[in-house]
Amino acid sequence: MTSNRIHSHLEEIALIGKLADLKEDHYQHSLLLSAVIELLMEKGMLTAEELSVKTQALEVQDEAAVMSDLFHE
């Protein structure tokens, strides 16, 4: 019983570490994406409106894919 409890605690610690790593990765990716978007806008290669339209289109596309997956299972 004690062995299982220790094993469970070690798994929990490992999971917490993985979540912390994912949080850091997410932050770094968000920072990089923000920098790229800002540079593209500064250079006049992208507008806020274009970004908004594309974001909305991708959301609709993702929602359609999820719904399709739900009905094909």
Instruction: Render pLDDT for 27-40 as a digit per residue (tens, 0 to 9).
Output: 999 999 999 999 99
Check if the beta carbon of residue 7 is closer than 8 Å to that of residue 14: no
- For residues 20 and 14, is the Cβ–Cβ distance under 8 A? no
User: What pLDDT, on a 0 to 100 scale, did the predictor assign at position 72?
Assistant: 81
pTM of the model: 0.67
Asked whether the beta carbons of 37 and 51 are under 8 A apart, the reply is yes
State the Cα torsion 14-16-17-18 to the nearest 10°: 90
Distance CA 26, CA 16 (A): 15
Sign of CA dihedral 40, 45, 47, 53: negative
